[in-house]
Amino acid sequence: MKKFFTQGRLAVLIVFVVLLIDQLIKICVKTNMLLYERIHITDWFYIYFTENNGMAFGMEIFAKLFLTLFRIVAVVLITGYLYKIVHHPVRIKTGYIVCLSLILAGAIGNIIDCVFYGEVFSASLPDQVASWVPVGSGYSEWLHGKVVDMFYFPIIDTFWPQWMPFVGGEHFVFFSPIFNFADAAISCGIIALLLFYSSYLNAASGTSVPQKDRS
């Protein structure tokens, strides 16, 4: 009997589950919290609602429309590559498929915010919780929505010693970025790829096929 959980079905399942969790968290935060509101979980973990126009972890480098279109192109390319390797006659290691699926799911999760949220939600403000609105009545246009972030881990929150040059007495936080579940999926996928599947990445950049999975 043919195995039900093929690599292709596993990839689809991972993408679906990550997207479901990501969007449920974002919608729950956006429709129940004020912008910049914090919920104290522990001294090193907060639910801190923010929105950003840029890339992962709140970075803003390029124009919003460019970033959205770049994400969409990246998703198309990753999807095509993933489809190619799961149907390749040489079996690829399942862990490699999982990493790519996590990256793909995270990218799609943030694309959903950028493409749709501006059209279907009212604006989130420090004194106003966002709500669902009729399509076209939202706070922005198609492709110009803001990405919802909420996970904040100020593991170290202190001040630099006064005797230190340039930064003495200044506030220091580690880890300061605020991110979402999609960002976490992308980061985990990339880190695992670099640590465990660098040979696959080298093969993908050329014409050869990664070694056969004997596991």
Structure confidence at residue 164 (pLDDT):
85
Asked whether 111 and 141 are in contact (CB, 8 A), the reply is no
pLDDT band at 199 (very low <50, low <70, confident <90, very high): confident
Structure confidence at residue 51 (pLDDT):
95
What positions carry a catalytic annotation? Answer: 149, 183
Cβ neighbors of 212 (< 8 A, separation 6 or more) are 90, 91
Cβ neighbors of 125 (< 8 A, separation 6 or more) are 34, 35
The least confident of 108-117, 171-180, 182-191 is 171-180
pLDDT band at 211 (very low <50, low <70, confident <90, very high): low
Q: What is the mean pLDDT of residues 188-196?
A: 94
Q: For residues 47 and 29, give the distance between their C-alpha atoms in angstroms, rounded to a whole number.
A: 9
Structure confidence at residue 1 (pLDDT):
43
Structure confidence at residue 82 (pLDDT):
94
pLDDT band at 214 (very low <50, low <70, confident <90, very high): very low
Instruction: Enumerate the domain spans of the chain.
Output: 7-204
State yes or no: pLDDT of 207 exceeds 60.
no
pTM of the model: 0.85
At 119-168, the pLDDT tens digits run 999 999 999 999 999 999 999 999 999 999 999 999 888 888 888 888 88
